[in-house]
Structure 1
Amino acid sequence: MSAPRSATPVPWDLSFLKVGALVTGAVAVVAALVAGVVAGWADAVGVLVGALVVTAFFVVSGVVIAWAGRINETFTLPAALGTFFVKAVVLFGVLGALPEDGWLDRLTMAWSVVVGALLWSGVQLRWVWTRQLYYVTPPAPPGQATVPPAPGGTATRG
């Protein structure tokens, strides 16, 4: 039986967060303008708040999971599930506190969250499908072989 891996040297790539936020922002602005003209400005605010909620949820999840993965890769699933639970409880509280007939349309916000989650999922899928992801550390290019670390902990290039 081997010891659990800890402190992975490979950095977690969170570049999908920027792409997801930009795509969501662009779609939300257009959708809010359309909703504002067609259904009213309470609906437009609902679209923008829904997009903000989804973006915040994906950013928080990405950062927490990457942080947990840097500590030990086996912590990523518990971190993801725990973060999801906390976010769901917070969202439930916030939605319960919103007035039914207030400054934003809750139904429009709910649909914006659904559409935003699907949009973010599509961004993540495309990000994964277009990246070269390695299951193991790739070998060094020819002529760039590395020497294993010395007992002092420093590696030298050969």
Structure 2
Amino acid sequence: MSAPQPGTQVPWDLSFLRVGALVTGTVAVVAALVAGLVAGWADAVGVLVGALVVTAFFVVSGVVIAWAGRINDTFTLPAALGTFFVKAVVLFGILNALPEDAWLDRLTLAWSVIVGALLWSGVQLRWVWTRPIYYVTPPSPPGQATVPPAPGGTATRG
């Protein structure tokens, strides 16, 4: 596959971000209510903050990778790896900055991040598996195809 010329627009679809945010929000609200009732409200806050962290990380990754892909396809892997490294350092900093007895439970936050990352990965997998991805340009729709010349010798558009 040849890389597009710089300045050309590649159709990078980020619609999975909306689906991932909706699924994560729904699961996080339910999980926070259950955690709050079972383990305490510090755990519920940990679930919600974990969901926000994961959502922010996936949104940042999606936008950075799409931006890099619009420049040139060969930039997407370095952008993904660089973004992953920065996110890991930020997450490490967030978890270390939280005091042990805080307004949220660090262990619950960490598990929420793990579960949220798996949930987002599942959303992305489903999104990719259900998209028609063409390795060649698909033919024009029937209404836009060129019709053979009419008996008078002129071609018409259908």
TM-score normalised to structure 1 length = 0.86
| Secondary structure of the structure 2 residue equivalent to 1:104 | coil
Aligned residues: 147
Matched with 1:25 is 25
Unpaired runs of 5+ residues, structure 2, are 147-156
Letter of the aligned partner of 1:14 in structure 2?
A: L
Q: Which runs of 4+ in 1 moved over 4 A?
A: none
Q: Report the more deviating stretch, 134-143 or 32-41.
A: 134-143
Matched with 2:153 is none
Matched with 1:118 is 118
1:103 aligns to 2:103 (yes or no): yes
Distance, in Å, in 1 between the alignment partners of 2:134 and 2:126 is 17
What's the C-alpha RMSD, in Å, of the aligned pairs? 2.0
1:128 aligns to 2:128 (yes or no): yes
Q: CA deviation at 1:9?
A: 3.1
1:57 aligns to 2:60 (yes or no): no
Letter of the aligned partner of 1:54 in structure 2?
A: V
Query: Which entry has the higher C-alpha Rg, 1 or 2?
Result: 2
Aligned partners of 1:19 and 1:123 also within 8 Å = yes
Unpaired runs of 5+ residues, structure 1, are 147-157
Aligned partners of 1:69 and 1:75 also within 8 Å = yes
TM-score normalised to structure 2 length = 0.86
Letter of the aligned partner of 1:139 in structure 2?
A: P
| Secondary structure of the structure 1 residue equivalent to 2:102 | coil
Q: CA deviation at 1:4?
A: 4.8
Matched with 1:5 is 4
